[in-house]
Amino acid sequence: MLHFKTIIEPFRIKSVEAVKFTHREDRVKALAEAGYNLFRLHAEDVLIDLLTDSGTGAMSAAQWGAIMQGDESYAGSRSFYRFRDVVQDLTGYRHIIPTHQGRAAERILFHSVLEEGDVVPNNNHFDTTRANVEVEEAEARDLVIPEGRVPSEIHPFKGNMDLAALERTLERDGGRVPLVMVTVTNNTGGGQPVSLENLRGVRKLCDRYRKPFFLDACRFAENAYFIKTREEGQAGRTPKEIAREMFSLADGCTMSAKKDGLANIGGFLALNDDAWAERCRNLLILTEGFPTYGGLAGYDLEAVARGLEEVVEEPYLRYRIRSTEYLHERLVAAGVPVIQPAGGHAVYIDARALLAHVPPLQYPGIALANALYVEAGIRSVEIGTVMFGRQPDGTEKAPAMDLVRLAIPRRVYTQSHIDYVADRLRGYRITEGPAVLRHFTALFEPLPA
Ligand SMILES: Cc1ncc(COP(=O)(O)O)c(C=O)c1O
């Protein structure tokens, strides 16, 4: 195999979509009209949209081709069986329940198995996961390793579960724990991976305390690639083999196919337990649809099935992880405080460190994300006090971090788009200026890359 320094996008572009160039004053106006909430912008007023990597990826020609094969039968469609076979081949789980996206899988699982006062341990709950636990009057308990809470700390598997803390929870509150979850990769903690060794440790504890273990598997393929490249003894295995082992260590998973399903919509709940599966299917019929389509069209099931095959291909994952790392490297070089090391799907700027003068309850993440939009037309998202600060009693408390996430859609932007983002986060140098009172007359230019 040939090795080049530059990792090129492992695809050619067959179909393109124009982006709209706006002026700063247009963006100031659009943001004010949106109530300074980037979610409320019209997407066409955004130049580079890094709001999320969820459902925003580009599908392959093979996926679009598969869409034409969609069988739209209400019950027992051919597309469901193809989808089921692909998911089963990957995960090994007995029951495969399609849902329209990840949070539907979460809601169906938690509503079916949680009771008031229960505790769900996780490395870090994603916001929809937390909300779906809390709506059942249960506690979403985050037990990521201490390194996972410190943005500047470097650790190869910063998403790992703190096994000692999990054991304490199972020892003290075991009677209230219906299941243990681990999120791969850990989105809320910076898109950081979880090692196989850690998953094995969670499995062992779950066996000892007789608890089912579920993965929040949204980014399972990115996690598998990190294991391949960072965990001892894993380099010779394919990402698919590693992913299969990850799934085999758990009893089930919730999945948003909008991430590592490489699809624009879709998800599933997969599990081994027959009784739980029956309860979940009954609820699915009530709100999502018949168990062979679960709120999706037959053509969506085809797109997800093909996406799950493509996502574990090594050239894709190498490019995917490297392009995120590339943006991360450029921001580090520019002195921007970012979560270390680079995550799989996103780069996270430490807004609390960058805007140290803005107290958490004045939302430094919102201030930074809005400035990025006004100055550069880049849309990002705050993951901090606005997302997590509101307490069940209505008060506000700053969470551990105030981050701004730049999430990279899959197969959508080229290196020059990413260079633009990095360029806009650089400082300036003075090209001409007098020795005194230079701020009146100096000329500036952006620092070179
Ligand atoms: C870790 C994690 N879990 C669950 C979800 C929810 O998935 P969906 O947006 O498809 O409902 C997301 C979405 O971003 C996520 O990142």
- Per-10-residue mean pLDDT for the chain, 449 residues long? 69 94 96 96 97 98 98 98 98 98 98 98 94 96 94 93 98 97 92 97 98 98 98 98 98 98 98 98 96 97 98 97 95 92 94 93 96 96 90 88 94 94 78 78 69
- Say what the pLDDT of residue 5 is: 64
- Say what the pLDDT of residue 434 is: 81
Whether residue 216 has its Cβ less than 6 Å from ligand 1:
yes
Nearest CA to ligand 1 atom 7: 102
- Say what the pLDDT of residue 6 is: 74
- Say what the pLDDT of residue 386 is: 92
- Say what the pLDDT of residue 60 is: 98
User: What would the two tokens of residue 234 be?
Assistant: 């894993």
- Say what the pLDDT of residue 319 is: 95
- Å from CA of 98 to ligand 1 middle: 15
Long-range CB contacts for residues 82-90, cutoff 8 Å, separation at least 24: 82/301, 82/302, 82/305, 83/301, 83/302, 83/304, 83/305, 85/305, 86/304, 86/305, 86/308, 86/309, 87/268, 87/270, 87/305, 87/308, 88/270, 90/240, 90/243, 90/244, 90/247, 90/308, 90/312
- Say what the pLDDT of residue 172 is: 97
- Say what the pLDDT of residue 217 is: 98
* Helix runs in 249-349, H state only: 274-287, 298-310, 314-333
- Say what the pLDDT of residue 359 is: 94
Whether residue 187 has its Cβ less than 6 Å from ligand 1:
yes
CA-183 nearest atom, ligand 1: 1
Asked whether the beta carbons of 130 and 195 are under 8 A apart, the reply is no
Taking the model in full, what pTM does it have? 0.93
- Say what the pLDDT of residue 1 is: 47
Asked whether the beta carbons of 231 and 196 are under 8 A apart, the reply is yes
- Å from CA of 349 to ligand 1 middle: 20
Whether residue 129 has its Cβ less than 6 Å from ligand 1:
yes
Q: Closest by alpha carbon to 307, among 62, 141, 29?
A: 62
Whether residue 320 has its Cβ less than 6 Å from ligand 1:
no
Nearest CA to ligand 1 atom 15: 126
- Say what the pLDDT of residue 444 is: 72
Tokens 């990190």 sit on residue: 226
- Say what the pLDDT of residue 96 is: 98
